[in-house]
Chains A and B, each alone.
Chain A
Amino acid sequence: MLAVTLSGCGDPPAVFVLNDAYFAHIERKSQTTFDPRSREDIGLILASTFGEPDDPYVPLIPDLDATGILDLTRVKQSSGRVWSDKIGIARGLYREHCIHCHGMSGDGLGPTASFLNPYPRDYRMGIFKFKSTGKGLKPTHDDLVKILTEGIPGTAMPSFKVLDTDEIESLVHYVRYLSIRGELERKLIELLPDVEDRLLDDALRGKQDDKYKAQWETIRGTAREVMEKWVQAEGEVQPVPARPDGWQDPETMRASVEHGRKLFYGKVANCFSCHGDSALGDGQLQGVDAWTRELLNDKEQFLGLAKMTPVERDRFEYVKSRDPRVLPPRNIRPRNLRQGVFRGGRRPIDIYLRIVNGIDGTPMPSAPLLKPGETPSPGKLSTEDIWSLVDYVRSLQYESISNPNDHEPVVTRERL
């Protein structure tokens, strides 16, 4: 008993945790009962394809060059326990810098997770918000480097500028490793309702080789599907056309801000409908992000914990009973644009990309951008229109209502 008590505490074992919440989600959604061995099967497949936290592995998929996205040497530098070798190279970077929020498995369920708002990112869905590629596409290598070096303002994600370039590179590979591993796990779970017999049964090896090979064929195809998208993303950066000279001239800027304001409240860009009539981020308070939507049976609308419907509560309690680490659902709020805090970065190009591409995993859609060569129509926005929106959004923090102390007597505020 004493041994049990002691072994339960201290350092948890370095193992990847199965995505039991998603298991529960898919099992209930498909109204099936999975083979009781399927948890072990998926554990075995993942250990075979990606190894374990102390000894990661990158599978060689025939005809897919994935070294640019998953370099095993770089992955290994970030894996395992924290130490540094004789020549002073830091090892175990993920456990030193990331694990307390993002968790051993990259599930965003590290010990600090429940104290944070927003919750740390769960990489396993394979969705990343702040990137230079279009909606539905993976981020590029440079996008992830930027997040690590700059951090995410307004969240608990700090900047890691103090790390060496090599260390950042290694961590980027490791984050991608966890994301690909986690997404493969999800896709394997999604296969379970329709799988004949089992996903992988290595007892068939040498006995029913055709069946056994077909099982690996499916697994390999699924891994390829996930990894390919990361490889392709490197070539899918959204072009950002340069602005015509003179845009910083005060008169030009004032006109652009004014044009941006009209677009912001217009029916084409339609920004106000979520960001609110005063751009305070209060126009749509019932939205949820992709990570939360799953907990709510893929519902887009959530009135909050206090107003949970019996169906939603039952659903959440069920998933939690299967995976007690799951955190309570929260609404996602549109950004309050008057604070001057932009999570994906405050440079004009950052805001341009957020508007044009939307933000993956969130309700923020991509703008109706006029494509090159397309005839202008009233329902589309030109690149100049987008730049005006950027200018307007960037000007909001300097308006007087963004700074209450400019025009409210201190006494009034204190009484409130």
Chain B
Amino acid sequence: MRLYFRRSARAIRSNWLWSAMALAIVSGCGKAPPPVQVDMRRAVALRADLEAGAAAPASADATPSETPTGWATLKGSFKINGSAPERKPQAVDKEREVCAPGGKTPLSEEIVVGPDGGIRDVVIFLASAIPDDEPWTHPDAKPGKTGEVLFDQKGCQFLTHVLALQPTQLLRIKNSDPVGHNTSLKPKKNRQDDQTVASGSTTAYQAKAEEADPFPVSCAIHPWMKAWLVLRKNSYVAVTKEDGSFEIPNLPANVNLEFRVWQEKTNYVQAVAVNGQPQKWAKGKFKLKLEPDSTQELNVSIDSGLFTK
């Protein structure tokens, strides 16, 4: 709105006729962006193609042209290049005796850098869609894991800031605080959920499908609380530890694999240096072919500037 007023004010100085016209355009309407011009005849002609086709969506597991031979391990670390960004205190505005124990306000976990520059909670996962059985998927990494995965909160912080699990596993949401919480999950494919979790109590969430991206978890009562869940159908996923290290064992070897790397503050990590060499990872993706029975080192450094944007 302000922009339009300024524009018309300038116009008044130059030419009253123009300004009158501009005012007429501005005041009446015309504020919306240009609508997309669609040729309806063309659109209608395409309807047959929309409504034809297979009843069910095609399976994602198209038979790959390659065959893996053996297994390999990918391990390494994510470190910061430059000084660690400052962690801001959370805006704790209530229940400070619980949420800021000892008067100490907890710090944001958007980016946590260890003493030797390791970045915690970077997610690296296999993005390629691969068959669920051997020789593609190792028995230890197979989909269909069951049992519970604990997701606890204390001091109005989620104790696991980034948690990876399979959709078949049950997420056991716990509240170890003397105050009540609610846990709001916002996945894209699965059902969104938001349950009250009483003090000292637990509740559960069962996903159904894999999620392409990590998704946020929050608490409406304490809106600074935030965590992320990574739902991948197999176990080819790692979240970096305090020192920035990670390890993904039993990956299929001798085939082209695509990985994706994500961090809360940067979203998908696009610019890195791998083992000292600068690389561009478009949308956080990079490809690797691992030697059988080998351990491939992947030591990544990320410029600190990317975390302060």
Contact = CB atoms under 8 A, between A and B. Distances in A.
Given A368-B198, A380-B198, A30 B38 contact: no
A378 B42 contact: no
Given A13-B35, A43-B36, A368 B195 contact: yes
A181 to B, nearest CB: 13
Nearest to A357: B194
Interface of B: 21, 24-25, 28-33, 35-40, 42-44, 46-47, 49-58, 91, 93-95, 178-180, 182-184, 188, 191-203, 212, 216, 218, 220-221, 223-224, 226, 267-268, 270, 283
Interface string A353-364: 000001010011
A49 B218 CA distance: 35
Contacts of B53: 62, 213, 216-217, 220
Contacts of B224: 300-301
B46 A44 contact: yes
Contacts of B56: 63
A397 interface: no
Contact of A368 (B33, B43, B184, B196): B196
Interface in A283-297: 283-284, 286-287
Contacts of A49: 47, 50
A212 B48 CA distance: 13
Nearest to A283: B94
B55 A9 contact: no
A365 B36 contact: no
A208 interface: no
Interface in A61-111: 61-63
Contacts of A300: 218, 220, 223-224, 226
A59 B283 CA distance: 33
B38 A44 contact: yes
A388 B147 CA distance: 36
Interface in A49-66: 49, 51-52, 55, 57, 59-63
A contacts with B: majority SS? loop
Interface residues of A, number: 81
Given A216-B50, A267-B178, A268-B180, A358 B33 contact: no
Contacts of A43: 36-38
Nearest to A21: B33
Contacts of B52: 216
Contacts of A156: none
B33 A205 contact: no
Interface in A103-139: 135-137
A59 B47 contact: yes
Contacts of B94: 273, 283-284
A217 B32 contact: no
